[in-house]
Chains A and B, each alone.
Chain A
Amino acid sequence: MTEHIDHYLADYLRMDRFPHIWCVGCGLGIILKSYVQALYELDYDLDKIVTVSGIGCAGRASGYVNTDAFHTTHGRALPFATGISTSNTDLKPVVISGDGDLFAIGGNHLIHAARRNINMLVICSNNYNYGMTGAQYGPTTPLDMRTPTSPYGNIENPFNLVSLVSSAGATMVSRWTVYHVHQLKNSIKKGLQKNGFSFIEVLSPCTTGYGRLNKMSPIDMMRDLKETCKIRKVHPTEATIEPGKEVIIGDFVDVEKPTYSDVLDQVSRRASK
Chain B
Amino acid sequence: MSKSLLTGKHFVHGDWACAEGAIAAGCGYFAAYPITPATEISEHIASRFPQLGRRFIQFEDEIGAIASVIGASFSGMKAMTATSGPGISLMLENIGLAVMTEAPCVIVNVMRGGPSTGQPTMGAQADVMQCRWGAHGDVEIIALAPQSVQECFDLTVHAFNLAETYRTPVFLLSDANIGHMYEKLEIPAKEEIEFVNRKKPKTSPSDYKPYLADETMVPPMACFGDGYRFYSTGLTHNEMGYPDMSVDTQDKLVRRLCDKIRKNTDKITMTEAIMTDDCEILVVAYGVTARSAASAVQMARSEGIKAGLLRLISLWPFPEIKLSEVANDVKGVVVAEMNYGQMVREVERSVKPIPVEFIPKLGENPPSPDEILAKIRRLAQ
Interface residues of A, Cβ cutoff 8 Å to B:
14, 17, 46-48, 50, 52, 62-63, 66-73, 76, 78-84, 86-88, 90-91, 108-109, 112, 264, 267-268, 270-272
Say how far A225's CB is from chain B's closest CB, in angstroms. Answer: 30
B363 CB-CB contact with A under 8 Å:
no
Say how far B259's CB is from chain A's closest CB, in angstroms. Answer: 24
Interface residues of B, Cβ cutoff 8 Å to A:
1-2, 28-29, 31, 47, 50-51, 53, 55, 57, 59-61, 63-65, 67-77, 79, 93-94, 96-97, 101, 224-235, 242-243
- Contact yes or no, B74 A79, CB < 8 A: no
**In the complex, chain A residues whose CB is within 8 Å of the CB of B235:** 71
The CA of A68 and the CA of B75, in the complex, are separated in Å by: 10
Give A69's nearest chain B residue, CB to CB.
B231
**In the complex, chain B residues whose CB is within 8 Å of the CB of A63:** 231, 233, 242-243
Say how far B226's CB is from chain A's closest CB, in angstroms. Answer: 8
Known: A72-B97, A79-B71, A109-B60. A264 touches B231 (CB 8 A): no
Partner of A80, one of B2, B50, B71, B225: B71
- Contact yes or no, B231 A76, CB < 8 A: no
The CA of A71 and the CA of B233, in the complex, are separated in Å by: 4
Give A265's nearest chain B residue, CB to CB.
B53
**In the complex, chain A residues whose CB is within 8 Å of the CB of B31:** 79, 83
**In the complex, chain A residues whose CB is within 8 Å of the CB of B51:** 268, 271-272
- Contact yes or no, B94 A76, CB < 8 A: yes
The CA of A43 and the CA of B39, in the complex, are separated in Å by: 45
The CA of A74 and the CA of B47, in the complex, are separated in Å by: 32
Known: A73-B234, A88-B75. A80 touches B68 (CB 8 A): yes
- Contact yes or no, A46 B229, CB < 8 A: yes
**In the complex, chain A residues whose CB is within 8 Å of the CB of B243:** 63, 71
Say how far B122's CB is from chain A's closest CB, in angstroms. Answer: 29
Q: Which of B1, B50, B230, B231: most chain A Cβ within 10 A?
A: B231
* Subset of 15 A-B contacts with CB under 8 Å: A47-B227, A73-B96, A79-B31, A79-B71, A80-B67, A80-B68, A80-B70, A83-B73, A86-B29, A87-B77, A87-B79, A90-B225, A108-B61, A108-B64, A271-B2
**In the complex, chain A residues whose CB is within 8 Å of the CB of B79:** 83, 87
Known: A83-B67, A91-B75, A108-B60. A68 touches B225 (CB 8 A): yes
Give B57's nearest chain A residue, CB to CB.
A86
Give A74's nearest chain B residue, CB to CB.
B93
- Contact yes or no, B75 A87, CB < 8 A: yes
Partner of A112, one of B53, B64, B101, B233: B64
Give B64's nearest chain A residue, CB to CB.
A79
- Contact yes or no, B71 A81, CB < 8 A: yes
Say how far A272's CB is from chain B's closest CB, in angstroms. Answer: 6
- Contact yes or no, B224 A50, CB < 8 A: yes
The CA of A79 and the CA of B72, in the complex, are separated in Å by: 10
Grouping DSSP codes into helix (H, G, I), strand (E, B) and loop, the A interface class, with mixed when no group exceeds half, is helix
- Contact yes or no, B224 A112, CB < 8 A: no
The CA of A99 and the CA of B234, in the complex, are separated in Å by: 20
**In the complex, chain A residues whose CB is within 8 Å of the CB of B68:** 79-80, 82-83, 86
The CA of A50 and the CA of B68, in the complex, are separated in Å by: 14
Known: A83-B29, A83-B75, A86-B55. A70 touches B225 (CB 8 A): no
Q: Which of A17, A50, A67, A84: most chain B Cβ within 10 A?
A: A84
Partner of A83, one of B47, B69, B226: B69
**In the complex, chain A residues whose CB is within 8 Å of the CB of B227:** 47
The CA of A70 and the CA of B100, in the complex, are separated in Å by: 12
**In the complex, chain B residues whose CB is within 8 Å of the CB of A272:** 1-2, 50-51, 53
The CA of A68 and the CA of B76, in the complex, are separated in Å by: 13
Partner of A73, one of B53, B93, B230, B242: B93
- Contact yes or no, A70 B57, CB < 8 A: no
Partner of B231, one of A62, A78, A268, A270: A62
- Contact yes or no, A83 B242, CB < 8 A: no
**In the complex, chain A residues whose CB is within 8 Å of the CB of B73:** 83
- Contact yes or no, B242 A17, CB < 8 A: yes
The CA of A225 and the CA of B81, in the complex, are separated in Å by: 45
- Contact yes or no, A47 B225, CB < 8 A: yes
The CA of A235 and the CA of B322, in the complex, are separated in Å by: 69
The CA of A84 and the CA of B200, in the complex, are separated in Å by: 19
Say how far A107's CB is from chain B's closest CB, in angstroms. Answer: 11
The CA of A270 and the CA of B224, in the complex, are separated in Å by: 29
**In the complex, chain B residues whose CB is within 8 Å of the CB of A73:** 67, 93-94, 96-97, 234
- Contact yes or no, A88 B76, CB < 8 A: yes
Say how far B68's CB is from chain A's closest CB, in angstroms. Answer: 3
Known: A79-B59, A87-B72. A72 touches B225 (CB 8 A): no
Say how far B317's CB is from chain A's closest CB, in angstroms. Answer: 25
Give B237's nearest chain A residue, CB to CB.
A71
- Contact yes or no, A264 B55, CB < 8 A: yes
Say how far B32's CB is from chain A's closest CB, in angstroms. Answer: 12
Say how far A59's CB is from chain B's closest CB, in angstroms. Answer: 9
**In the complex, chain A residues whose CB is within 8 Å of the CB of B28:** 87
Give A86's nearest chain B residue, CB to CB.
B55
The CA of A72 and the CA of B68, in the complex, are separated in Å by: 11
The CA of A121 and the CA of B148, in the complex, are separated in Å by: 45
The CA of A48 and the CA of B227, in the complex, are separated in Å by: 9
Say how far A273's CB is from chain B's closest CB, in angstroms. Answer: 9
The CA of A50 and the CA of B28, in the complex, are separated in Å by: 20
**In the complex, chain B residues whose CB is within 8 Å of the CB of A17:** 242
The CA of A68 and the CA of B227, in the complex, are separated in Å by: 8
- Contact yes or no, A68 B64, CB < 8 A: no
Counting from the closest, the 7 A-B pairs by CB-CB distance are A83-B71, A83-B68, A71-B233, A271-B50, A79-B64, A83-B72, A79-B67
Say how far B51's CB is from chain A's closest CB, in angstroms. Answer: 5
Partner of B225, one of A69, A88, A108: A88
Say how far B160's CB is from chain A's closest CB, in angstroms. Answer: 16
Known: A79-B63, A108-B61. A86 touches B72 (CB 8 A): yes
Give B225's nearest chain A residue, CB to CB.
A91
Give B230's nearest chain A residue, CB to CB.
A68
